[in-house]
Structure 1
């Protein structure tokens, strides 16, 4: 979030705290419930593609397992789209359009800054062996120029590492399987549900049991994907912040314990 008014003046600390509190409230309130066209599936989704509730009606059992899985995925995606739209509209008012809040909550890293071109910014044109006619650098100028060069090179390395991490995050997926098999869910970075597989024999369960099994499997895959993302971002940030512990602290204990078993592709 930018701490600047439309007129370019910085926000006072109290105004900045108020804007941050408003944005947190907007995020917490951005919850959408969607029912599939045939009223077989009803889902509730929050920010970051978090599936909070999944209910099946008896109409769900008109489908085979593959079709029901596809209906669930499509219903969740529609709810997520509506959450993103509502959140983006509200957040745009609070951040003056400077922050993609929905994207950040969905695991989308902002684009890295453009790579440097040309020489080191601020480098002196002082004397060198190749240019003996120019005025030689003083010791202090030479030391300063060397520090600037090292800082610029480090910045370039960080930008390259960030771009690499951004590309890797796009390839991360995690797949979870229900306790006794029969249901599998695959989730990408940012909680984006890619697919659900439901074996036909699982349709012998009642609507409440099957819905709960599907929901818990999705949530397990989401937790695994979140930890894989945290692991990659941790390598980018280094030990200064314990990103993995921060993410794990938000997961229920039963999901946190099983997160290392995620499968990664890419």
Structure 2
């Protein structure tokens, strides 16, 4: 891999990290009783229960919240996959996307493995430059 390729990869990785860190999706129940916002890794950033939920049991409201969180997670994963495809191309997105868990985010082990691979690659490039 040449130095420009390494720089391009690093820039893409930084862009991807920024996209993931800034990602969030809002989902609203059909009757507008519940609104949730989900961020990276399925983190629930906000839950709003409106007056339209009045008269419902706690269990019913809880089920609505869970359903909207799941819906928001699916949308967030789809949006991130689309952005990854735009950024990395179909082949690169498939490579990264193939390692995504149900949350749409790479697992900690996958992130560490990729980081190590990039470190080894960078060291190899530096040795080549020294020659």
Which category of TM-score, normalised to the shorter sequence, fits these structures?
0.5 to 0.7
Does residue 64 of the first structure (1) align with residue 57 of the second (2)?
A: yes
Q: Alignment partner for residue 94 of structure 2, among 97, 100, 107?
A: 97
- State whether structure 2 residue 38 is matched by structure 1 residue 32: no
Q: Within 2, Cα distance between the matches of 1:105 and 1:82?
A: 12
Whether 2:84 is the aligned partner of 1:87: answer no
**Per-residue deviation at 1:106?**
2.4
Q: What is aligned with 1:16? A: 9
Unpaired runs of at least 5, structure 1: 110-189, 191-229, 234-266
Task: Report the Cα offset of residue 59 of structure 1.
Answer: 1.4
Higher share in helix? 2
Structure label with greater radius of gyration: 1
Greater RCO, CA 8 A, separation 6+ = 2
Tell me the residue number matched to 1:106: 103
Aligned-pair Cα RMSD in Å: 2.9
> By how many angstroms is 1:17 displaced?
1.4
Aligned residues: 105
CA drift at 1:29: 2.8
Dislocated runs of 4+, deviation >3 Å: none
Contact 1:48/1:102, CA 8 A, preserved across alignment: no
| Conserved 8 A contact 2:77-2:104 | no
Alpha-carbon separation, structure 1, partners of 2:99 and 2:41: 7
Measure the CA separation in 2 of the matches of 1:30 and 1:105: 16
Q: CA deviation at 1:102?
A: 8.0
Q: Unmatched 5+ residue regions in structure 2?
A: 110-131
Distance 2:5 2:60 in 1: 54
